[in-house]
């Protein structure tokens, strides 16, 4: 039973017919995201994302580990996502479904393979120790568009996270506690996000940020991953019926606009959080940030 | 109404809260059970208490001499005989349609001939994904027994109340089962009473405002599904249907009171550009 | 002392859910319950008249391991005693409980879950209540640390727990039964008796006998008994859900 209940014919037909009149079930435009809120918890790298009724928690953590043998100068970055029965009663605990594999694959490509997190900066001592950064994505409510929501959560988390400071002294690695030395922000090279489109009516209707029911009623999906500069780092049409090449061309510019908008929301949330921390006497982090900018 | 009695599982129901108007036996509904405590003195009869098994508000009916617990409105639907539900055909076998009433639950059975006037030749040919408005006939006996549905009153052979049977066209919206129960009560009472019995004015309000554009048909399933169709709506049919769906889910999600329900209806109809 | 805070039904997809925060241990748990759901047939073979309870504990920043599987069993065995799996619609079905550590320190690989246990089972209870799963009774739980000088600390922080000679997690049903008794470290019977008395007071309040012989629950240094926190959380949510009914003119 690792599957959402299928849509009824009435729902499928209605969603399609409504889209032909440019109407979506929640009254949105075709190119409109659902309301998005990004908020941070007490710990660094603890993010809560609410996108319409889809919600998730991302937690970033770090530990010192041994680098991979073939990459002695690189740290390790892993994205872990496990769909549990919390997100949807249709998901079974401890059993991996197709959706999970697919989402992890896309997240890996958009965030990890595009080198959004500079893994070389995670090296502490060549071939001996490095930082192992882990992003855990907990899906708490599933109502469509897991990929974009997870991407937003991971990127916001990486920007919010602070790892402990570590130095090498006489060949020994010393890791300072969070209260001993000001923790260090991660080195983010660019901020890629994904925008997922779904097509209907033989590719004639294209919408973004589909809800669960819209996803189920759609013919195919197209994922575009890109950063604020418009560099496309991921493009896929994984399954479903064919999509016209012009959709990719036209929707790339829509995606760029959305990525800029969402990155703006993340920046604003980060600033609000920083201001809150500064106010509550936890100003060290913000000072450290300024120091680094001056150097 | 006096302040309600809220019970948690294990709490005993104080006897003064139970109906005591007549000598007929007390009927216990959902969320309550009778516990017998053997008395310490063997010569005395054991004592009985009524205890809650679900959290909720105690609801009593003096006329029927019944008591039950109104529990959390977001819970999963469990089929109960006599409930009206909207079921979705999953597949059919020679004798039955196998239907989904709740997701991630076993299929319920609907006899191929359990429709008004159905014979082997005239029975509806339903396919996967079709919807039916049906009544829960029985839960079967014993553990793991199948739930059976019907679209006729077994006594009369008619679709009673009217409307039981296949639902064609339209759209289904999901609401909480608490909301479904309220909508059910509201739609079975006169427009003036809806506010009093269920705190809902949305159906009455939508009915008034959409009258000009052809009105709408609605079927409410206790399994948290609402079917809406604006077949006479012409050009505005789709928009009106979406508007009704949005009104219902917003009210469900935000627990809107009657004043806010009226405001919401006006706002959404304006947003969707439906003239009223 | 700042007591724990809880929210009922914060999620929309799961049948029931709850979030629970305990400021002193720093734990923040989100729980969901789906019930009654169909499970693959292999799991109902043993007791066809009863529901199957499944518990899944998901750590916040690490993959699950033996520590999680062990604590899942402890939680499952305790909850299975309270869940009325023979009620209508539950036989042969599953009650799937998912608990995720969404805040606070994660338990290290192989470390004990004892300090998190009360938060986990409180979350599970509230999520069960939110899903209206039939229960015979409710409960409340706490964890106590005893240090070398015999001092008892309620709901210890990570540091306090590390410094303790023994840790005890106890749960009491709403009728006063001892439902759960998990301890680790070295201790003697006298210590356990003291721990038991203190835990009972934290969960149920102190019993004080008034002059006319009535037994009344009183609050002491431990503030509101935990039992009351559970009850209030549920009552608040029900009041909100049924405002349309109770506030009606």
pLDDT in tens, A207-259: 999 999 999 999 999 999 999 999 999 999 988 899 988 888 899 999 999 99
Q: Which residues pair with A37 in a beta bridge?
A: A50
- The tokens describing A45, both together, are 């790298």
Question: In terms of residue numbers, what domain contains A49?
Answer: 31-280
Burial of A171 from C-beta contacts in 10 A (0-12 / 13-18 / 19+)? exposed
Q: Dump pLDDT digits (tens) for A283-295.
A: 454 445 544 444 4
What confidence category does residue C219 fall into, taking pLDDT thresholds of 50, 70 and 90? Answer: very low
Q: Say what the pLDDT of residue B48 is.
A: 86
Domain extent for C110: 5-246
Counting residues of chain B whose pLDDT is more than 70, the rounded percentage is 97
Chain B residues near residue A8 by CB distance under 8 angstroms: 88, 129-131, 172
Q: Cα A220 vs. chain centroid, distance in angstroms? A: 21
Q: Chains meeting C at 3+ CB pairs closer than 8 A? A: A, B
List the structure tokens of A261.
Answer: 């908008």
Q: Which of the four pLDDT bands, split at 50, 70 and 90, describes residue A81?
A: very high
CATH classification of the domain holding B17? 2.40.50
Confidence of residue B26 (pLDDT cuts 50, 70, 90): confident
- The answer to whether the CB atoms of C35 and B76 lie below 8 A apart is yes
Task: Kindly list the residues from chain C whose CB atom is less than 8 angstroms away from the CB atom of residue B196.
Answer: 248
The answer to the question of residue A144 being in a domain is yes
Q: Domain limits at B227?
A: 171-271
Q: What is the DSSP letter of C202?
A: H
A85 close contact with C: CB closer than 8 A: yes
pLDDT-derived band at C43, boundaries 50, 70, 90: low
The residue with tokens 């049948």 is: C15
Measuring CA to CA, which residue among A57, A73, A205 is closest to residue A128? A73
CA distance linking residue B33 with residue B51, whole number of Å: 6
Hey, what's the torsion of the CAs at A264, A266, A272, A273, to 10 degrees? -160
- C159: CATH: 3.30.230.70
Residues B156, B207: one domain?
no
Gap between the Cα atoms of C89 and B223, Å rounded: 14
CA C186/CA C179 separation, integer angstroms: 22
DSSP strand pairing (C27-37 vs C16-22): antiparallel
Residue C42 gets which letter from DSSP? G
State pLDDT tens for residues B129-141.
999 999 999 987 7
The reply to whether B102 and B144 lie within a common domain is yes
Q: How many domains does chain C have?
A: 1
If one counts every other C-beta atom within 10 angstroms of the C-beta of residue B6, the result is 21
Q: Where are the alpha helices (DSSP H) in chain B?
A: 177-187, 194-198, 202-209, 237-254, 258-271
Q: Is the pLDDT of residue C216 over 70?
A: no
What is the rounded distance in angstroms from the CA atom of residue C108 to the CA atom of residue B46? 52
Helix axes B237-254, B177-187, angle to 10 degrees: 120
**pLDDT > 70 fraction of chain C, expressed in percent and rounded:** 89
Closest by Cα among A13, A124, A151, A145 to A65: A124
Residue B91's pLDDT band, with cuts at 50, 70 and 90, is very high
Cβ within 8 Å, pair C98-A85: yes
In a domain, A158, yes or no: yes
Minimal-distance CA residue of chain A relative to C56? A93
Instruction: Write the CA distances from C200 to C181, C196, C227, integer angstroms.
Output: 12, 6, 10
What is the domain-level CATH number for residue A198?
3.30.230.70
| Whether residue B47 has pLDDT greater than 90 | no
Q: Is A261 a domain residue? A: yes
Please give the pLDDT value at position B192.
80
Residue B276 covered by a domain = no
Please check whether residues B176 and B163 belong to one and the same domain: no
Question: Which residue in the block uniquely carries the two structure tokens 């721990």?
Answer: C195
Same domain for B118 and B46: no
Best of B53, B69, B142, B179 to mutate (most C CBs within 10 Å, chain C): B53
**pLDDT band with cut points at 50, 70 and 90 for residue B203:** very high
CB contact under 8 A, C241 and B139: no
Asked which of A49-58, A218-227, C99-108 is least confident by mean pLDDT, the reply is C99-108
Number of folded domains that form chain A: 1
The average pLDDT across C220-243 equals 87
Q: Is residue B57 predicted with pLDDT exceeding 70?
A: yes
Chain B CB contacts of A17 below 8 Å: 238
Please state, for a pLDDT cut of 90, what percent of chain B lies above it.
Answer: 63
Angle at A21 (CA atoms; ends A15, A24), nearest 5 degrees: 45
- Contact list, B221 vs chain A (CB under 8 Å): none
Please report which confidence band the pLDDT of residue C217 belongs to, taking 50, 70 and 90 as the band edges. very low
pLDDT reading at B30 higher than 60: yes
One domain for residues B147 and B175? no
Q: Which pLDDT value is given to residue A80?
A: 96
d(CA B60, CA C244): 17
* Beta-bridge partners for C57: C99
Last residue of a domain, one of B150, B167, B184: B167
- Rounded Cα distance between B100 and B107, Å, is 5
Which value does ipTM take for this structure? 0.92
Distance to chain A for C31, nearest Cα, Å: 7
Distance CA A42, CA A55 (A): 18
**Alpha helices, DSSP H only, in chain A?**
9-20, 98-107, 146-160, 212-217, 245-279, 284-294
Q: What is the 3-class SS of chain C, one letter each residue?
A: CCCCEEEECCCCCCCEEEEEEECCCCEEEEEEEEEEECCCHHHHCCCCCCCEEEEEEECCCCCCCHHHHHHHHHHHHHHHHHECCCCCCCCCCEEEEEEEEEECCCCCCCCCCCCCHHHHHHHHHHHHHHCCCCECCCEEEEEEEECCCCCEEECCCHHHHHHCCEEEEEEEECCCCEEEEEEEECCCHHHHHHHHHHHHHHHHCEEEECCCCCEEEECECCECCHHHHHHHHHHHHHHHHCHHHHCCC
Longest dimension (CA), chain C: 61
């Amino acid at each position: 039973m690792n599957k959402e209940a299928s849509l009824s014919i009435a729902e499928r037909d209605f969603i399609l017919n409504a889209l032909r009149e440019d109407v979506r079930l929640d009254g949105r435009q075709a190119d409109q995201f659902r309301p998005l809120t990004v908020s941070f918890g007490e710990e660094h790298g603890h993010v809560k994302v609410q996108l319409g009724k889809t919600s998730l928690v991302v937690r970033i953590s770090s530990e010192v580990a041994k680098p991979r043998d073939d990459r002695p100068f690189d740290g390790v970055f892993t994205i872990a996502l496990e769909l549990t029965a919390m997100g949807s009663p249709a998901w079974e605990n401890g059993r991996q479904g197709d959706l999970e594999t697919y989402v992890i694959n896309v997240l890996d490509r958009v965030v990890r393979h595009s080198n959004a997190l500079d893994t070389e900066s995670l090296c502490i001592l060549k071939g001996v120790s490095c930082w192992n950064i882990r992003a855990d994505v907990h899906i708490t409510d599933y109502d469509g568009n897991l990929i974009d929501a997870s991407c937003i959560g991971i990127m916001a988390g990486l920007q919010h996270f602070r790892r402990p400071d570590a130095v090498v002294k006489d060949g020994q690695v010393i890791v300072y506690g969070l209260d001993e030395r000001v923790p260090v922000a991660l080195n983010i090279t660019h901020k890629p996000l994904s925008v997922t489109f779904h097509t209907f009516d033989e590719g004639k209707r294209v919408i973004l940020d589909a809800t669960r029911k819209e996803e189920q009623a759609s013919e195919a999906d197209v994922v575009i991953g890109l950063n604020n500069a418009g560099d496309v780092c991921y493009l896929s049409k994984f399954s479903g019926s064919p999509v016209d090449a012009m959709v990719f061309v036209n929707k790339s510019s829509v995606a760029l606009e959305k990525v800029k908008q969402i990155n703006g929301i993340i920046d604003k949330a980060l600033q609000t959080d920083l201001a809150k921390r500064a106010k509550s006497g936890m100003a060290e982090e913000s000072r450290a940030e300024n120091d680094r900018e001056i150097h | 109404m006096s302040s309600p009695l809220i019970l948690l599982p294990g709490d005993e129901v104080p006897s003064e809260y139970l109906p005591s108007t007549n000598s007929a036996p007390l009927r216990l509904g959902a969320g309550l059970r009778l516990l017998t405590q053997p008395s310490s003195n063997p010569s005395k009869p054991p004592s009985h208490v009524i205890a809650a098994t679900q959290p909720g508000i105690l609801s009593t009916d003096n006329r029927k001499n019944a008591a039950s617990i109104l529990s959390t409105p977001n819970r999963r639907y469990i089929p109960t005989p006599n409930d009206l539900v909207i079921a979705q055909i999953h597949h059919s076998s020679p004798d039955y349609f196998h239907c989904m009433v709740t997701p991630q639950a076993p299929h319920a059975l609907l006899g191929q001939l359990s429709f008004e006037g159905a014979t082997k030749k005239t029975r509806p040919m339903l396919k996967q994904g079709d919807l039916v408005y049906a009544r829960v006939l029985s839960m079967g006996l014993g553990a793991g027994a199948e739930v059976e549905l019907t679209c006729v009153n077994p006594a009369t052979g008619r679709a009673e109340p009217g409307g039981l049977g296949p639902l064609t066209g339209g759209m289904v919206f999901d609401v909480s089962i608490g909301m479904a129960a309220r909508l059910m009560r509201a739609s079975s009472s006169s427009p003036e009473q809806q506010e009093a019995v269920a705190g809902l004015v949305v159906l009455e309000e939508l009915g008034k405002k959409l009258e000009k554009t052809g009105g709408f048909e609605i079927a409410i399933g206790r399994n948290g599904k609402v079917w809406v169709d604006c077949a006479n709506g012409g050009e505005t049919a789709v928009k009106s249907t979406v508007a009704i769906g949005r009104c219902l889910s917003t009210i469900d999600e935000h627990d809107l009171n009657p004043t806010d329900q009226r405001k919401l209806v006006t706002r959404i109809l304006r947003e969707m550009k439906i003239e009223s | 002392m700042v007591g724990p805070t809880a929210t009922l039904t914060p999620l929309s997809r799961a049948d029931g859910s709850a979030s629970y925060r305990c400021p002193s241990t720093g734990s923040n748990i989100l729980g969901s319950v789906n019930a009654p759901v169909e499970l693959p047939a292999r799991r109902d073979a043993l007791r066809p008249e009863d529901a199957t309870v499944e518990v899944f504990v998901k750590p916040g920043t690490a993959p699950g391991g033996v520590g999680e599987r062990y604590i899942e069993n402890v939680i499952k065995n305790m909850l299975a005693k309270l869940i009325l799996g023979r009620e209508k619609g539950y036989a042969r079905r599953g009650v799937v409980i998912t608990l995720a550590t969404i805040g606070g320190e994660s338990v290290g690989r192989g470390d004990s879950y004892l300090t998190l246990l009360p938060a986990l089972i409180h979350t599970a209870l509230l999520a069960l209540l939110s899903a209206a799963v039939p229960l015979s009774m409710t409960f409340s739980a706490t964890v106590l640390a005893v240090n070398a000088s015999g001092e008892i600390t309620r709901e210890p922080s990570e540091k306090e727990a590390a410094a303790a000679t023994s840790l005890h997690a106890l749960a009491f049903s709403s009728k006063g039964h001892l439902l759960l008794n998990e301890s680790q470290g070295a201790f003697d019977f006298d210590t356990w008796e003291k721990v038991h008395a203190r835990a009972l007071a934290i969960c149920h309040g102190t019993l004080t006998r008034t002059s006319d012989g009535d037994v009344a629950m009183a609050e002491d240094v431990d503030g509101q008994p935990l039992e009351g926190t559970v009850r209030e959380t549920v009552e608040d949510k029900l009041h909100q859900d049924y405002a349309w009914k109770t506030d009606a003119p």
